[in-house]
Amino acid sequence: MRILATKSLTIQPLQAQHYTAVSRIYLEGIATGNATLQTESPDWPDWDKSHLPHSRLVALHEQEVAGWAALTPVSGRCVYRGVAEVSVYIGEQFRGMGIGKKLLNNLIQASEANGLWTLQAGIFKENTASLALHENCGFRVVGVREKIGQLHDIWRDVCLLERRSQLIGV
């Protein structure tokens, strides 16, 4: 693991002005073939509309966006208002430095401050780094969704992970 000096890293709310870098980092994740079934990055209005208005974070290393994390509602039904899906992406040059863990832990705190009781993540089983990150932050694998979607005409399995809050809904 490469080490990044923590004093040079700040976590702050993701704003519209960060989106060019956020989109670039998302595209870097897409390029790995193991981050998402998506093949394109949405424009800001579509991204903004699809994510919860709270719990959107960027990690800044010397004012450069090194990574981001945000939540998407899992359902429009009111009974699932406390459940959201996690997205965490780290810029290619910043991977392996512990930034994902800082972002995910801060995202968990933000989600609980906003009343969420369950976070879930869908992660390709080949993405061992992301699986380890989530498990280190209190997520557990609850199942595997076999052949849930295709990426470049190949059926992919996705591990479903969840984290129950120890503060909300207990």
Radius of gyration of the chain (CA): 15
Q: Residue 65's pLDDT is what?
A: 98
Residue 170 reports pLDDT greater than 80: no
Domains recognised in the chain with CATH numbers: 6-164 (3.40.630.30)
Residue 37 or residue 159, greater confidence: 159
What is the reported pTM?
0.92
The position carrying tokens 């208005």 is 53
Q: Residue 165's pLDDT is what?
A: 97
Local confidence band at 4 (pLDDT 50, 70, 90 cut-offs): low
Pick from 140, 139, 156: nearest CA to 148: 156
Residue 107 reports pLDDT greater than 60: yes
What is the mean pLDDT of the segment spanning 134-139? 98
* Mean confidence (pLDDT) of the chain: 93
CA distance linking residue 32 with residue 27, whole number of Å: 9
How crowded is residue 22: how many other Cβ atoms within 10 Å of its Cβ?
Answer: 23
Backbone angles phi, psi at 95, to 5 degrees: -70, 150
Q: pLDDT for 74-93, tens place per residue?
A: 999 989 999 999 999 999 99
Contact 110, 54 (CB under 8 A): yes
CA distance linking residue 142 with residue 95, whole number of Å: 26
Residue 6 reports pLDDT greater than 60: no
Local confidence band at 2 (pLDDT 50, 70, 90 cut-offs): low
CA distance linking residue 94 with residue 46, whole number of Å: 26
